[in-house]
Amino acid sequence: MLRDLINNHTPLKNNFERLSTLFQCAINAYKYPLNGNHLSQLGELSGYYCVYDIHQRMIQHPVGQRILNDKPRVTPETFKIEELLKLNENTFGYQYGKFMRDRDFSSGERPIVKYIPDLELAYVYQRYKEIHDFIHVLLMYDVSVYDEIVVKWFEMAQLGLPSATLSAFVGSFKLNCQEKQKLIETLPEILKRANKSEFIMNVYFEEHINTDITQLRKSLRLL
């Protein structure tokens, strides 16, 4: 399941090459904000130590340990939308399948990690990207600019990743006045949920496909 990570790995020879690549990715992310690859690679290059900290939190948790051992992936093959939509409507699996179908999304669209040198940490960052849509479903936020920014604030508070922090702060400036006011009113609650809830990287989502979505939110302390 890690063959794509191995094949996509691009080692950087030294700190100068890392900094120059980081600078180029930052420019491209600003110039082409709709291209997710640039922001993704910027996150990889700027978030190594944060990803290391996430890894440490995972290995200190029994479920996190199992995730790191099993290394499950979220792909069109492991999460078949047509199969998920056959489940009861109140299940997490059905709600995720409906979320993806209604927006014509595919889990295969997530960019593969490229620049993180350690394969174990590369998997951790890939896992973070692949469960992003799960977070949308659990938090009950859509994919508008406003909704995406709220989710990024949650991710920033939970994970501390520079890419989430950048998206949360910079993205907030792109909102209109009404949306900014709404965000100001929403932030205390979303940050509270992020701080009190289960660490999202230690959730084995694959084992909750048939779990009642409300019960799952409650068990993760998201309600």
Annotated binding site for Zn(2+): 132-133, 136, 148
Q: What does 57-110 look like in DSSP terms, one character per residue?
A: HHHTSHHHHHHHHH-----TTTS-HHHHTTS-TTBHHHHHHHHHHHTT--GGGS
Contact 165, 153 (CB under 8 A): no
HEC per residue, 172-223: HCCCCHHHHHHHHHHHHHHHHHHHHCCCHHHCCHHHHCCCEHHHHHHHCCCC
Contact 12, 44 (CB under 8 A): no
SS3 (DSSP) at 30: helix
Q: CA-to-CA distance for 188 and 196, rounded, in angstroms?
A: 12
Q: Which of 114, 104, 52 is nearest to 81 (CA)?
A: 104
- Residue ranges of the annotated binding site are 132-133, 136, 148
SS3 (DSSP) at 16: helix
Contact 54, 159 (CB under 8 A): yes
Contact 126, 56 (CB under 8 A): no
